[in-house]
Amino acid sequence: MDAQTLLALLEERSGQFVSGAEISRKLGVSRTAIWKHVRKLEAEGYVIEAAPRNGYRLVERPCRLSPAGLSAKLATRVFGRRLQVLDAVPSTQDVVRELAEAGAPEGTLVLAEQQTRGRGRMGRAWVSPPGKGVWMSLLLRPRVPLPLAPQLTMLAAVALCRGLGRIAPLPIGIKWPNDLLVEGRKISGILLESAAEDERLKHVVVGIGISVNLEAEDFPPEVRAKAVSLRMALGRPLDRTDVVAAVMEEFETLYELYDGQGFGPIRSLWEARSATLHRRVRLETPQGTVEGTAEALDELGGLRIRRDDGTLHTVYTGELTGPLQMAEGERS
Amino acid sequence: MDAQTLLALLEERSGQFVSGAEISRKLGVSRTAIWKHVRKLEAEGYVIEAAPRNGYRLVERPCRLSPAGLSAKLATRVFGRRLQVLDAVPSTQDVVRELAEAGAPEGTLVLAEQQTRGRGRMGRAWVSPPGKGVWMSLLLRPRVPLPLAPQLTMLAAVALCRGLGRIAPLPIGIKWPNDLLVEGRKISGILLESAAEDERLKHVVVGIGISVNLEAEDFPPEVRAKAVSLRMALGRPLDRTDVVAAVMEEFETLYELYDGQGFGPIRSLWEARSATLHRRVRLETPQGTVEGTAEALDELGGLRIRRDDGTLHTVYTGELTGPLQMAEGERS
């Protein structure tokens, strides 16, 4: 037994007492061992009441993310089974990249309470204030060749969209390639950093930023009109541990689906959640501006755009700047 | 003026004296400046005779690679214009990767007299003894999206094959994806390490190992039957500086062609030099063994294999283990 097994048992009883005798029996440990684990949980910020006749009960969860709390909630086989929660780091991406190069296994997950130099797409900064969001990086070692790496970008967007949808009844749409929007405002971002040797992917570090409990003033003035948090959209705060667990579970499920059945099912799921398809778009690409109607996603994650002169153009890299609104009836 | 301009002038006269007055006039510098540059070249291993009445003449080139010697020979605009020659390093790939992350420009080239942990494909070691080969890494910052990165693997193979062909009249063939063979034995290897953010290639480090002047006993016993050097194949040693210059010039030319016209011309050149197409092959892939006849190269650098049951299978990553011989009449 370890601390998280004890925590899971206490969580199960949601605030009711569990007797020491029952814990000893169920987990097969001594009273002394129980006490040691209680102390460990308290060190992580849990408040546990111990009453001589009644046993133990969980009074308060920490507002900080805790490894034991996350492990107890995660119903995954691989994703997040190795995890670290750090205090303040420049970027969780760099931490996981170093772990990857040192041989860390697939599914290694690193979270930080705060990022001081969080990165977004196109080298932009990503706002990651302490304690209010989920700033994390997940290590993948996919068995796909390099040209197919962009499919993982789409997979990550679908996983995040579905994971958040499980705990927050909001109309979340995917802006190509992988921003998540609620009513046109960004609620989450994804950044995949890949390393390859020839055509062989060595590893992919998936950076995920979710604005969970930020309030309007937590965003810098220049992004306030374009950004929103789950708390602002829902009108209530969420438990960040629930957010991480839901996203990791969806991610692992879809990753296994992809491994077994390829990109087809992922593409359908992406298309169903897309806030970009069938709309007029304007894209800034290294080769210039492309304007037209977004028609489909191709096998490599490229966006097929029908220009006004009828020609079809596929874009793999670029920045969507065109008008983007969720149409009516597209609540997810 | 710098030392390499002076060197170029001395090289031009191939061992004849050039008067101090002429050098002063042609290069627009004082006698004192000439003397300083002569000293610098001598420090790099050149032997320059200075005679009071006759001026200066080049007596001996260093057998070590020298930055001034390389710069004087290179007829490129970008590739190798920034260069370093190191003594012994674990791997030039790691040096250039660090330079890339620190913002070094495209074309940055690092050579080493010796690699103590040279890497080949699939994590194998690459034999890089001191002073006998060309062990180098070139930094590219290509304007192509990630899915097209394998095209650069093919481009590098063609560039190397054509570069070596310019100075060594040998039948060099390309084994898919990018090994160079002379009569079935490996003479050179290429390893591309790519880093991407989402679908955007951040940089590609092209590692090139060329067994120039190695003798049979320089190869470890276990690879002797499969490896050969230019010197062994030609029966005479080559100047390593000429080898680097020829490869860099071909590489830059093809890279510009690719930037302007895409993969079409590169694919044709690869196919013309291929030692794999139209032959029976056996490939070990992560998904199992594939056997059949190699029919073509696809748009992404994948190998199209016609199996005996008539089905077509495209392989992006794997290890060719099938029999490979150059057919008669295929001298390049």
The answer to whether position B164 is within a domain reads yes
Confidence bin at B246 (pLDDT 50/70/90): very high
CATH number of the domain at A316, please.
2.30.30.100
Q: Is B153 in contact with A317 (Cβ distance < 8 A)? A: no
Q: Is A317 in contact with B286 (Cβ distance < 8 A)? A: no
- Tell me, yes or no, whether A112 and A234 share the same domain: yes
- Tell me, yes or no, whether A83 and A125 share the same domain: yes
- Tell me, yes or no, whether A98 and A197 share the same domain: yes
The C-alpha angle with vertex A177 and arms to A175 and A181, in degrees rounded to 5, equals: 25
Give me Rg for the CA atoms of chain B. Answer: 22
Short-list A145, A261, A257, A251, CA closest to A208: A251
Instruction: Find which of A146, A155, A191 to mutate to test the B interface (most B CBs within 10 Å of its CB).
Output: A146
Nearest-CA distance from A329 to chain B in Å?
A: 31
Residue B96 and residue B71 in contact, taking contact as beta carbons nearer than 8 Å: no
> Over the stretch B122-163, which tens digit does the pLDDT of each residue have?
667 777 787 889 999 999 999 888 888 989 999 999 999 999
Q: Is B191 in contact with A178 (Cβ distance < 8 A)? A: no
Select the residue of B121, B143, B286 nearest A286 (Cβ to Cβ). Answer: B143
Copy the structure tokens of residue B310: 């008539």
- Tell me, yes or no, whether A243 and A293 share the same domain: no
The torsion angle over the Cα atoms of residues A165, A167, A168 and A174, rounded to 10 degrees, is -20
Number of domains in chain A: 3
What is d(CA B243, CA B249) in angstroms, rounded to the nearest whole number? Answer: 10
- Cis preceding linkage at A150, omega within 30: no
Position B325 scores a pLDDT of 43
Position A174 scores a pLDDT of 94
Q: Is B121 in contact with A317 (Cβ distance < 8 A)? A: no
Which residues constitute the domain of residue B54? 3-60
CATH number of the domain at A148, please.
3.30.930.10
- Under the phi-then-psi rule, with left for phi > 0, alpha for psi from -120 to 50, and beta for the rest, what region is A262? left
Reported ipTM exceeds the 0.85 cut = no
Q: Is B193 in contact with A195 (Cβ distance < 8 A)? A: yes
Select the residue of B147, B192, B197 nearest A147 (Cβ to Cβ). Answer: B147
Instruction: Find which of A91, A194, A198 to mutate to test the B interface (most B CBs within 10 Å of its CB).
Output: A198
**How are beta strands A83-89 and A109-115 bridged, if at all?**
parallel
- Cis preceding linkage at B220, omega within 30: no
Model confidence at B289: pLDDT above 50: yes
Chain B residues with beta carbon closer than 8 angstroms to that of A157: none
Q: What is the pLDDT along chain A (332 residues), one digit of tens a residue?
A: 578 889 888 888 878 899 999 999 988 889 889 989 998 888 777 788 888 889 999 887 777 888 988 999 999 999 999 999 998 889 999 999 999 999 999 999 999 988 888 877 766 777 777 788 999 999 999 988 888 898 999 999 999 999 999 999 999 999 998 899 998 999 999 999 999 998 889 999 999 999 998 888 888 888 888 999 999 999 988 899 999 999 999 999 999 999 999 999 999 999 999 988 989 999 888 778 899 999 999 888 889 999 999 999 888 887 887 554 443 334 33
- Tell me, yes or no, whether A162 and A20 share the same domain: no
> Over the stretch B300-324, which tens digit does the pLDDT of each residue have?
888 999 999 999 988 888 788 765 4
Position B323 scores a pLDDT of 52
Select the residue of B143, B148, B198 nearest A192 (Cβ to Cβ). Answer: B198
For residue A270, CA distances in Å to A188, A264, B198, B323 come to 16, 10, 16, 44
Nearest-CA distance from B301 to chain A in Å?
A: 9
Identify residue B171 by its one-letter amino acid code. P
Position B324 scores a pLDDT of 47
The answer to whether position B294 is within a domain reads yes
